[in-house]
Amino acid sequence: MASPPLEPGAAARVLITPQVPSSWPLHGLGPSAALLPQLPPIERLPSGAWVGVTSGTAPARSWWQRLRGERSERVHLASRCMALALAGYVDICAAEGVAFGRVPPPG
């Protein structure tokens, strides 16, 4: 499991694999607002806690990808980072395909 690059060695308190509809764009750049309901509200987590969002996986599209067992990113990193920012998380960063956001300090 990746750790947030802004705090090496830290672990995400919550790790989310987003569930998106089959109509989600093949390039992975879908509406970030669709991910918001899947993120825990920052009020329910302690200050400074990290939340990680994985990409999920898309089914292999071509017969060659299926043969080789290839899977691609289902939800693009940009969409995941934007969803974290829209939800109020701070220190948005990414490592090893996982988007991270930290719960801001109170106040």
The DSSP H or E segment spanning 83 is helix 77-86
Instruction: Kindly give the pairing relationship between strand 14-16 and strand 90-95.
Output: unpaired
Question: Exposure string (b/e) for 2-31, b if CB count within 10 Å is 16 or more?
Answer: bbbeeeeeeebeeebebebeeebeeebebe
Q: Show me where the domains of the chain are located.
A: 14-102
What's the pTM value of the predicted model, to 2 decimals? 0.85
Dihedral (Cα; 95, 82, 18, 34), 10-degree rounding: -170
Residue 60 has pLDDT above 60, yes or no: no
Residue 51 has pLDDT above 90, yes or no: yes
- Of 12-26, 39-53, 66-80, 85-99, least confident by mean pLDDT is 66-80
Residue 87 has pLDDT above 90, yes or no: yes
